[in-house]
């Protein structure tokens, strides 16, 4: 069973993670999930967890004491993977989600205000961002990363093949898919998908995945080890 703890000033924001796939994982005892409000470890009776930065500057920084005191109050924290949600961190990727899904215990620290006292970096194993933009706080990025990780746990999704063929699994975007009706306002399902020839269907899907990736995310193509036939196909398209 995986255990996930989240340190946050806004525990109520994580209510959606008790439904859908996350909720099922908890019901099925594949996952335990808990939030912790580090304001409980505020530095004074007014509940302050932030202060002005040394050297001046705009905004307020989260102080080190509430964060570390809350972290150390979480059972098993010294054996956990501790993830600081940080816009200056490394990019979150599907590969990282797979890596985290192999862990027994994850702890996410969600920031707020202008940032953290930098000494918190001495207590974490990962500093991760979901993109090159800044949000109001770290709760939404944490939810994104948690969802992407938990859905990779064994038995969380009913069909393991659905994970294998997903976008970004092999640095390729997923091929286009279709269902009924066969004809919608003159827009037909590709005939090859109706052929019953699984070999040709698989080849078509690989070509379409390559084409879609080239058009939408050409940066991913550079990471692929393409066969001569695949290179020829992309050159012609």
30 has binding-site annotation:
no
Residue 74 is assigned to a ligand binding site: no
From 157, 152, 141, select the one nearest 109 (Cα to Cα): 141
Q: Is 109 marked as a binding-site residue?
A: no
199 annotated ligand binder: no
219 is in an annotated binding site: no
Does 85 show up as a binding residue in the annotation?
Answer: no
133 is in an annotated binding site: yes
Q: With the C-alpha atoms ordered 234, 235, 236, 237, is the resulting torsion angle positive or negative?
A: positive
Could you tell me which residues are annotated as the binding site for S-adenosyl-L-methionine? Answer: 111, 130-135
Annotated binding site: 111, 130-135
């Amino acid at each position: 069973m995986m255990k996930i703890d989240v340190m946050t000033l806004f525990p109520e924001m994580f209510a959606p993670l008790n439904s859908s796939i996350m909720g099922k994982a908890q019901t099925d005892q594949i996952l335990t999930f808990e939030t912790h409000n580090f304001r409980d470890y505020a530095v004074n009776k007014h509940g302050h967890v932030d202060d002005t930065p040394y050297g001046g500057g705009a905004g307020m920084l989260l102080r080190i004491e509430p964060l570390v005191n809350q972290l150390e109050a979480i059972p098993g924290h010294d054996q956990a993977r501790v993830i600081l949600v940080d816009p200056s961190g490394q990019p979150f990727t599907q590969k990282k989600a797979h890596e985290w899904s192999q862990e027994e215990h994850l702890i996410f620290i969600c920031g707020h205000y202008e940032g953290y006292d930098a000494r918190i970096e001495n207590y974490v194993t990962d500093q991760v961002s979901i993109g090159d933009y800044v949000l109001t706080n770290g709760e939404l990025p944490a939810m994104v990363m948690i969802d992407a990780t938990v859905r990779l746990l064994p038995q969380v999704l009913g069909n393991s093949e659905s994970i294998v063929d997903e976008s970004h699994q092999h640095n390729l975007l997923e091929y286009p898919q279709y269902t009924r009706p066969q004809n919608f306002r003159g827009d037909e399902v590709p005939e090859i998908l109706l052929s019953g020839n699984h070999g040709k269907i698989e080849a078509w899907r690989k070509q379409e995945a390559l084409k879609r990736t080239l058009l939408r995310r050409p940066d991913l193509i550079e990471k692929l080890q393409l066969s001569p036939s695949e290179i020829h196909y992309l050159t012609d398209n």
